[in-house]
Amino acid sequence: MAQAKRLIVLGIDAISLPLVNRFAQEGSLPYFKRLMEEGAISKALPCLPAYTPTNWATIATGAYPGAHGAGNWDDRSPGDPLDRKPISTFHSRTITAQTIWEAAEKAGKRSLVAAYPGAFPSRLKTGLVIVPLQRGLVSHKILSGEVYSTEEDASQGTSLVLKPAENWNGEIIEPALEGVITVGLGPEAPLTGPAAARAVGATEDGADQAVVTAAPETGAKHPQTAGLHFNILLQSTSGNGFDQLLIAQGKDASSPLARLSPGQWSPWIIREIPSKAGLQSGSMRFKLLELSPDGKRLRLLRSEIYPTTSFTEPESLSEELVEQVGPYIEHSGLPLSLDLEDYQTILEEIEYQVDWHIKAAKYLHETKGWEIYYLHWHFPDSVQHRFLACADPASPIYDAKAAPDCIDALRQAYKLGDRLLGGFMQLCDNETIISVVSDHGHVMDIFYCSLAKRLQEVGLLSYSGGQGSAQRPPGNIDWSQTKAYPHGGAQICVNLKGREPEGIVEPKDYEAVQEEIIDALLDWREPESGKRAVAFALKKKDASLVGYWGKRAGDVVFIYNSGFSWGATKGDVTIGTASGAHHGPQIPTTETDLSSNLALLMMAGPGVRRSFERDYQQLSYARLVDLVPTFCHLLGIQPPIHSQGAVLYDLLE
């Protein structure tokens, strides 16, 4: 077998094989088509639950959650003090298994890890880590994007007031209008619009949960001090109404920072941004989304502000990358909205991000060298959360009229994935393995389930006043009346005396309470259809069957049935109708005609079979734990010491 010297792993969040096949067959994904012709593919089994941090940790370590510790979105363990602030499992400190990058370093190979969950802060000596994925603790973002709008409706963005222009330096075309936009917010000004939505922290692992991620030293920084001001000027260059917007610092029309027609982006602007941590150098650009000739309707987007320093390890790389490749963005400045009004702008921003990663990898390969490249690229996950349900005829909110647009929104996201793949294929030589992997797929929800209400209904959980969260224990649990409580979305803990801070269950009753919990889960049915909400539930001692053991594991591990998802339900009802799409709650083998919750593996290069798809009847799906051992086998290095998967020999020559 030919020996591979380099490995490129493009982790694309949530993409599934049915959608790749659909878009590739219609000709939208030429590079995916080529990769499938030149390589081997398999649907892949995510670890339970099909969470993002859980499965990226597996893809980096080859280990099950029991070993890598990222079975939940944070590192909470049963018995933790009630006031302990858990740490996000996007933080490398919480990952308890060795990574492929650490194993490669031992073998003298350098890794470049980009935007990858659990990679930051770096545990590598020679490896390079850039742009940690935003998630609570590990965000470096200075400020979310914002739309400045003349619309009075606050949901349209930050309100912008225009008045006749006066006292400008330089030549201006009269009549002109002027306004001021502020970047960074004073303490008196509440966050509005998209920034507010993000500040509240919409999360993936449950619709009605409290946001509990701690924010110590490296927490997200929302500016609380007086902002930076830009002056804007509207002019009519054609005499047919306003058609141009100038952005200036100070009223100087002779050398503006940008001169924009509708639809145009400004150059990048780098400024010291007032933030909670003091002044921080950040980059931003503006796009004139809309300008009516009478000047009454104006919408101006300011991109997310990302730092120009200290977003890499080593830190010195940051400024070098900004200079050589350009400023980085983590997210579009706009939220994904079902009306698709601004979707093209979002695609433009994400295309910039895709190209940034390609250029950065190429530049660092040429200047510093790397043998292993791991990228996590998140965009398709967000698009599927938003658009998959309306496009899937199996979904209760399927909308035949809107479906073609929703499908096209998905297609455009996958096309950006194809652009990413094409860019990295250019970096491959005949000694390079290139792989596209996802952490899970995505399927629509049919029913929402409130676990907290179910545990209350059967008398296992009690709140002192009002409803509690479905997912995580909020502050108002009445511990003196509680025998069991949720531990993340798919585990439950016994309130065990001697272990839990306010435990009431005697150790001799531990197993009986586990049985009670399992009965409550397995007897839980949607009343109309009679369908069971939960696919299976296991005691902790049996949960190593599905990858759970150790300090952080709950006392019962379960997963929802196909079509059942966590979500808010009305009143005392424990199961209600659903309206979205998820990956985490449902059993990962859930599939519909449109999509699949299974992950995806594609790879090509020396030693890998060509035009080959695994025989699922013979061997079932590849498992995500198998990726690292297989990659290490192809590279001829020893796998990480905690890796637990097997080499996928059937995909190899």
Rule CB under 5 A: which residues touch Zn ion?
13, 52, 381, 439
- Report, in Å, the least distance between residue 440 CB and Zn ion: 6
- Report, in Å, the least distance between residue 461 CB and Zn ion: 29
DSSP 524: -
Of residues 52 and 353, the one with the C-beta less far from Zn ion = 52
Q: Which tokens is 586 given?
A: 């449902």
Distance CA(653)–CA(34), nearest Å, equals 18
- Report, in Å, the least distance between residue 56 CB and Zn ion: 7
Q: Which tokens is 404 given?
A: 């073609």
- Report, in Å, the least distance between residue 69 CB and Zn ion: 17
Of residues 244 and 597, the one with the C-beta less far from Zn ion = 597
- Report, in Å, the least distance between residue 70 CB and Zn ion: 12
The residue sitting closest to Zn ion, measured at its beta carbon, is: 52
Q: Count of CB atoms within 10 A of residue 162's CB?
A: 18
- With beta carbons less than 8 A apart as the criterion, state whether 74 and 86 touch: yes
Of residues 52 and 514, the one with the C-beta less far from Zn ion = 52
What are the Cα distances from residue 315, in Å, to 115, 133, 319?
15, 16, 8
- With beta carbons less than 8 A apart as the criterion, state whether 105 and 582 touch: no
- Report, in Å, the least distance between residue 88 CB and Zn ion: 14
In 214-342, where does DSSP find H-type helix?
Answer: 316-324
Q: Which tokens is 623 given?
A: 């498992």
Of residues 330 and 439, the one with the C-beta less far from Zn ion = 439
Return the biggest CA–CA distance within the chain: 85
Compute the Cα dihedral for 404, 405, 409, 415 and give only its sign.
Answer: positive
- Report, in Å, the least distance between residue 14 CB and Zn ion: 5
Of residues 202 and 619, the one with the C-beta less far from Zn ion = 202
- Report, in Å, the least distance between residue 381 CB and Zn ion: 5
- With beta carbons less than 8 A apart as the criterion, state whether 181 and 160 touch: yes
Angle in degrees, 0-180, between the axes of helices 403-425 and 17-25, rounded to the nearest 10: 90
DSSP per-residue string spanning 355-407: HHHHHHHHHHHHHT--SEEEEEE-HHHHHHHHHHHHH-TTSTT--TTTHHHHH
Of residues 57 and 534, the one with the C-beta less far from Zn ion = 57
Of residues 76 and 385, the one with the C-beta less far from Zn ion = 385
Of residues 15 and 517, the one with the C-beta less far from Zn ion = 15
- Report, in Å, the least distance between residue 527 CB and Zn ion: 32
Q: Find, among 256, 172, 257, 185, the residue nearest to 222 by Cα.
A: 185
Pairing of β 6-12 and β 612-613: unpaired
Three-state secondary structure call for residue 246: strand
Cα atoms found within 13 Å of the Cα of residue 367, Cβ hemisphere only: 12
- With beta carbons less than 8 A apart as the criterion, state whether 478 and 515 touch: no
Q: Secondary structure of the chain: what % helix, strand, coil (to 5)?
A: 25, 25, 50
Of residues 496 and 599, the one with the C-beta less far from Zn ion = 599
Pairing of β 111-114 and β 372-377: parallel
- Report, in Å, the least distance between residue 13 CB and Zn ion: 4
Pairing of β 306-307 and β 443-444: unpaired
Three-state secondary structure call for residue 339: coil
Of residues 138 and 322, the one with the C-beta less far from Zn ion = 138
Distance CA(57)–CA(637), nearest Å, equals 19
Distance CA(579)–CA(409), nearest Å, equals 18
Of residues 439 and 526, the one with the C-beta less far from Zn ion = 439
- Report, in Å, the least distance between residue 621 CB and Zn ion: 17
Of residues 381 and 516, the one with the C-beta less far from Zn ion = 381
Of residues 223 and 580, the one with the C-beta less far from Zn ion = 580
Asked if the bond preceding 314 is cis, omega within 30° of 0, the reply is yes
Of residues 36 and 600, the one with the C-beta less far from Zn ion = 600
- Report, in Å, the least distance between residue 585 CB and Zn ion: 13
Phi, psi of 272 (to 5 degrees): -80, 120
User: What is the torsion angle, in degrees rounded to the nearest 10, for the CA atoms of residue 122, residue 123, residue 126 and residue 131?
Assistant: -10
What are the Cα distances from residue 403, in Å, to 244, 262, 388, 443?
36, 29, 9, 15
Distance of CA 651 to the CA centre of its chain: 29
